Amino acid sequence: MTEGGFASYAEKIDAVKVRERSRSFFDHFSQARLFFNSQSDPEKNHIVDALSFELGKVETVAIRERMVGILSQIDKTLAAQVAYNLGLPVPKKPEEPINHSIPADGDPKKFQPTKVQSSLDASAALSMAGTIKNTIKTRKIAILAADGVDEPGLTRMKKALEAAGAVTHIIAPKLGNIIAENNKEIPVDQSLLTAASVLYDAVYIAGGTNSVATLEAEPDAIHFLNEAYKHCKAIAADSSALQVLEATYFSKKLQNKTNKEGVLTGDSKKLSTDFIKAIAQHRFWEREKPGKVPA
């Protein structure tokens, strides 16, 4: 015994050392089920589309059928929607064994998934729609610009976004510097040859007559915007850059709805406040189905 504490008694025991995983390691589906159930309807649509896309590239039908069977263990509706896109029926039960990752000397039955009922049906923290919507800290914002850009307007927007905690990248048709209307040189962070909208949370189109004309005629710039719109991200344009928006696929879908559904226009002096609020919403899910456009 020791004063003021507890000391374990040293006792010799017999035991067998084995290399074996706890049965909890074979719970392959409860977390996936919780994640899917926690998503908003537009997010579930994204998951269905992603699975349909990836499995649609698989040429062996038997593999598609097997994967649909596995998806049915996560959620029957998910499996049914993916199966419909693949032109397959949902199997009554998945192909067995479900788990093919079995050691050479292992018993396949001991390595199959266990059925576990999660203590939670859904968690708002797992949904992007439940993201905190009062800040834009760490969000990455793409600023599209070219030679002849309105430097004061671009600088105002850039400073406002960075003051709110966002990270900004100036994206132009080429690397190096762009020459503004007032002859100032502005360093370019990324070129449209390599930059992708999927890496950014929102897009701003700077003003300036020559810059706007260049971006309107640049296919990569228009593709960048189409993709950002398809992914429901906030888009803002200086009032002098409306012709760039008009060159996109989604311009017809706006139907005079600018400053709604996360597409904003206006003078950079006033636009930055509304743009920051739009970015904080993270995504504009109302575009998901009616606003689908090719990218």
Token pair 């699975």 is found at 51
DSSP per residue over 22-81, as a string?
Answer: -GGGG--SHHHHHHHHTS-HHHHHHHHHHHHHHHHT---HHHHHHHHHHHTTT-HHHHHH
Confidence of residue 115 (pLDDT cuts 50, 70, 90): confident
Share the mean pLDDT of the chain: 88
- pLDDT score recorded for residue 177: 96
More confident residue, 63 or 285: 63
Q: Please answer whether residues 236 and 201 qualify as being in contact, where contact means their C-beta atoms are separated by less than 8 angstroms.
A: no
- pLDDT score recorded for residue 272: 92
Confidence of residue 204 (pLDDT cuts 50, 70, 90): very high
* 26's tokens: 């074979």
Report whether pLDDT(293) > 60: no
Say which residues have a Cβ less than 8 Å from residue 105's Cβ, sequence separation at least 6.
Answer: none
Report whether pLDDT(252) > 60: yes
Average pLDDT over residues 235-242: 93
pLDDT, tens digit, for every residue of 74-103? 999 999 999 999 999 998 888 888 777 777
- pLDDT score recorded for residue 217: 95
* 240's tokens: 């002098």
* 23's tokens: 């049965």
Q: Please answer whether residues 208 and 180 qualify as being in contact, where contact means their C-beta atoms are separated by less than 8 angstroms.
A: yes
- pLDDT score recorded for residue 278: 93
* 22's tokens: 């706890």
Say which residues have a Cβ less than 8 Å from residue 85's Cβ, sequence separation at least 6.
Answer: 48, 52, 56
Percent of the chain with pLDDT over 70: 93
Question: Can you tell me whether residue 262 is helix, strand or coil?
Answer: coil
Instruction: Give strand pairing partners of 144.
Output: 171, 205
Residues belonging to the chain? 295
pLDDT, tens digit, for every residue of 37-53? 999 888 898 899 999 99
- Cis bond upstream, residue 108 (ω within 30): no
Confidence of residue 3 (pLDDT cuts 50, 70, 90): low
- pLDDT score recorded for residue 291: 46
Q: Please answer whether residues 221 and 192 qualify as being in contact, where contact means their C-beta atoms are separated by less than 8 angstroms.
A: yes
Question: Can you tell me whether residue 140 is helix, strand or coil?
Answer: strand
In 3D, which of 257, 205, 256 has the Cα closest to residue 226? 205
Confidence of residue 14 (pLDDT cuts 50, 70, 90): confident
Q: Please answer whether residues 226 and 293 qualify as being in contact, where contact means their C-beta atoms are separated by less than 8 angstroms.
A: yes
Confidence of residue 255 (pLDDT cuts 50, 70, 90): low
